Amino acid sequence: MRNISKLLFVLLFLFSGNLLGQSRDSLLIALVHTNSLKTLDSLVSRVDVDDPLGQSQDPLLFYAIQENNLEAVKLLIKKGASIEKLFSDVNALMNCSIKGRTEIGAYLISIGANVNSFNSRRNTALIYAARYGRLPFVKLLLDNGANAEVKNITNISALDYAEKFAEVAISEQIRLTIENKYIPFKPSFRDGPHVFTSMWNTFTKDYLNFDSSSQKFTRTSESFKYQKGSAKLMVNESIGEITVSFKQPRAAKHHKSNYSKIFAVGDVHGAYDSLLVLLTNNGVIDHNTNWTFDDGVLVFVGDIFDRGNQVTECLWLIYKLQIQSTENGGTLFWTLGNHEIMELEGDTRYLHNNDLLLTTKNKTTYMDLFGKESLLGLWIRQQQTVVRIGNILFSHAGISPQLIKNKFTIGDINSLVNRFVNRKQLDPTDIERISLLFGEYGPFWYRGYVQSSSYANKLDSVEVASINRSLDVRVQIIGHTEVNQIEPSYGGSVIPIDVSFVSPQVSIQGLYIEADKFYRALRDGKKVFLFSISKD
């Protein structure tokens, strides 16, 4: 009797003329919210189930999705609710994607929802899932044939959104799906060697391999003995044999009071062959990749990692040259960049696809290749973040006004970064300072010397002069933000040197400094004078 009375009350509300609009909408929405499916079943037969309801003007099916009410979804579809019709330019599967309703999404796909349907802006459910960080939904869509390469009307793909919003796991899923399609057409490739500590006075030398004839991914490992903590390692034909050691290296000094000549290199990003050309033609190395720069200083301002497919070769070359430079009275500095930090922390968004395939197929991670048992990993963690040579300061992205305001010294920056990447104990008071160092105002990510961004305007000359005075330097050399060619900014107070190593439209360049004169060093070894500074 109570149920009959309830139903009569509901019907009276629903169909009394003056209450047909807003009250009807509220009632139907409430029935979904309270999971009153029997009453809902009775009422939806008397209305258009796809009518837009409430303030949002969504259909009842979308409210059921919002409530994550699978049974209500099934009921409404049984009553004729459309799963493909667009409301506010999204269909039911897109709505599930935005809200992360994976179970409902799986049901919709099982009854025929098109995983590749798109709206007026050519957005798909996969694009929405990547945009809103819905990893389980991304996996669901990819497993059911979603096109991972489609782009919307603004030429943005699901992968673009994953990279923009730092969705590392989503980026990996999408990239692997795309790359798996092309594996049958790929030539053989490998990465290595990666050297790890082992037992009984041995190292292991590992390679990650893909063999195109067998279509197999493998990891090969070879042990070799060392004496007194070091051993000879044949890297490859280009770099040759070098001495490697697992003795904990001392942190490189972050200051050198004087110099005879300096050669500075911007963001290499795994472009090993281009790096060889630049260094060889400018007299830094010979054709056997040996140091020929005498007592000069070679500086890399970060971002050896990512984008290119020869990162490991670049690392071994720098490792070799750091040893040889010291033996010849010179010095090699490498200031860490944001891409070094990203890979040490497992952020693979910009890792070359071949390396992503090699690690994933061999059930490891790229980060593991550079862990604390890795020779290269240990060595990388000993590099500096900021280096001063005479009155010239080198860092990846530059020193922001915020770092000056918070009284960071060069020593502070290097010490805190070193403790962080080596997982050394940090004081509670260090946490806020660490956050600043690794954020948008830190020496890895700041862009204010080259351009304005969403978080900071481009610096003016007065601000730059004030920063350099605080640091007691005349010039800052930075990378991170690409420029078309090396030239001084702010009257010579800053020199951005991140000229692309991979773009066919840009010729690789370095910065050469001698006798306080600054030159643009070209690919063929020619030098173009830029300016000079006084010694005072």
Let me know: does 104 contact 70? Beta carbons within 8 Å.
Answer: yes
**Six-digit token string for 31:** 């029935």
Q: pLDDT tens across 492-515, in order?
A: 999 999 999 988 889 999 999 999
Q: pLDDT tens across 158-213, in order?
A: 999 999 999 999 999 999 999 999 999 999 999 999 999 876 678 899 999 999 99
Q: CA end-to-end span of the chain, whole Å? A: 99
**DSSP string covering 476-509, please?**
EEE-SS--SS---BGGGTEEE----SS-TTS--E
Maximum Cα–Cα distance across the chain: 101
Let me know: does 314 contact 282? Beta carbons within 8 Å.
Answer: no
Q: Where are the domains of the chain?
A: 1-182, 191-245, 261-532
Which of 82-96, 324-338, 417-431 is the least confident region? 417-431
Q: pLDDT tens across 361-397, in order?
A: 999 999 999 998 999 999 999 999 999 999 999 999 9
pTM: 0.90
CATH fold, domain 1-182, is: 1.25.40
Q: Which CATH class is domain 261-532?
A: alpha beta
Q: pLDDT tens across 86-142, in order?
A: 999 999 999 999 999 999 999 999 999 999 999 999 999 999 999 999 999 999 999
Within 10 A of 171 (CB to CB), how many other CB atoms are there?
Answer: 26
DSSP letter (8 states) at residue 264: E
CA distance 444 to 463: 19
Q: Given a cut of 70, is residue 19 above it in pLDDT?
A: no
Closest CA to 148 of 161, 133, 158, 135: 158
Closest CA to 73 of 46, 51, 106: 106
pLDDT of 534 = 78
Q: What are phi and psi of 328, to 5 degrees?
A: -110, 15
pLDDT of 18 = 42
Q: Given a cut of 70, is residue 7 above it in pLDDT?
A: no
Q: Given a cut of 90, is residue 253 above it in pLDDT?
A: no
Alpha-helix runs per DSSP H in 282-352: 311-327, 338-344
Q: What kind and span of H or E run contains 110?
A: helix 102-110
